[in-house]
Structure 1
Amino acid sequence: MKIKAQVRDDAPVTEDNMRRAVATRQSRTPQAVSVQFLPSRRSLLIGFVDQSAIALPVAKFPELEALDPAELDRLTIGFGGQALCLEERDLHLSIQGMIAVSDALMGLAASMVAASNGRRVSAAKAQAARMNGRKGGRPRKPSVDPST
């Protein structure tokens, strides 16, 4: 299948165009909006725009392990909700990269993607199911006589 390239003239940068571009990006990527250090768990709680949150242990990240609790408290969200930042240490950590380090979270994500892909019905599958239905459905397996 070939996809033809689209010719797009450069649109002038206006406030309206910028607002739409920012809204499009925000709707397509998960954005962190808060970070909180949990001293009792020695973890960072990262909150997202949809009110969900994940806790990541500081011990998994050498860059964070070197910080004292006061510095962990001063971490901020930067780069459009994509990174944890501590400017005084010139520290910028990708949140997606931090999540990718967690085998449990990656395994959960993989199983959810697999389940979602398994429910997907393509046009070809739907057509094949209709054709099978017209022929009387899925053929039965031949029964085996247990006495033989």
Structure 2
Amino acid sequence: MTIQAKNGFDEVVTPEVLQRAVALGRSRHRGSIHAQSLRYLPDTRALMITFGDQTAIVLPVENYSELAALTGRELQQLSLCFAGSALCLNDRDLHVSIAGLMAMSQPLLEVAKTVAASYNGSLRTLAKAVASRENGKKGGRPRSLTHPGSV
């Protein structure tokens, strides 16, 4: 099977085309990690990664084998790359995903799971709507059992 590549370079950029491209870029930007700044904290030998809303995470360098071998000077030279989704040190050809670093921390992973579960639980899905209708046909949510002697 051969897939023919599209060449969109000759497409006229109308206001509508530009608006679609900007909307696509915004939607892609929302779905991934984009750090705004990176600071090395030599006192604690940690990296502070700050995001657009001024929230930040602090990652101890010693917890990550890729970073633990770096000197203080090299840690100072780390920079953000790939649109803020990775840390880079060109002298060592080092590119480390911020999401990957966060996933290696069990507490951060648990926080992410909790946030995702909370968010996904509040979404109204087709499955939830169907289950709710079926439950309603049966008389609604079952009453909680009361203990003998309680009012």
TM score, norm. by length of structure 2: 0.73
The sequence identity of aligned pairs, in percent, is 36
Deviations 1:59-92 (A, max 9, x none): 0112211111121111110012111001111111
Deviations 1:22-45 (A, max 9, x none): 333212212112110011111100
Cα separation, partners in 2 of 1:120 and 1:28, compared to 1, 3 Å: closer
The RMSD of aligned alpha carbons is: 2.8
Question: 1:99, CA displacement in angstroms?
Answer: 0.4
Determine the structure 2 residue equivalent to 1:7.
none
**Retained in 1: the 8 A contact 2:39–2:49?**
yes
Counterpart residue type for residue 137 of structure 2: M
Determine the structure 1 residue equivalent to 2:114.
111
Distance 1:59 1:23 in 2: 35
Cα separation, partners in 2 of 1:98 and 1:139, compared to 1, 3 Å: closer
**Retained in 2: the 8 A contact 1:30–1:49?**
no
Counterpart residue type for residue 25 of structure 2: V
Q: Is it true that 1:65 corresponds to 2:71 in the alignment? A: no
Say which SS state the counterpart of residue 84 (structure 2) adopts: coil
Determine the structure 1 residue equivalent to 2:3.
none
Distance 1:118 1:128 in 2: 19
Q: Is it true that 1:123 corresponds to 2:129 in the alignment? A: yes
**1:9-28 alignment runs, 5 A limit:** 10=6, 12-13=8-9, 16=18, 19-28=22-31
Say which SS state the counterpart of residue 37 (structure 2) adopts: strand
**Retained in 2: the 8 A contact 1:35–1:46?**
yes
Distance 1:143 1:91 in 2: 62
- The aligned length equals 135
Q: Is it true that 1:84 corresponds to 2:87 in the alignment? A: yes
TM score, norm. by length of structure 1: 0.74
Cα separation, partners in 2 of 1:110 and 1:144, compared to 1, 3 Å: closer
Distance 1:37 1:144 in 2: 59
Distance 2:48 2:144 in 1: 54
Unaligned runs of 5+ in 1: 1-9
Unaligned runs of 5+ in 2: 1-5
Question: 1:124, CA displacement in angstroms?
Answer: 1.2
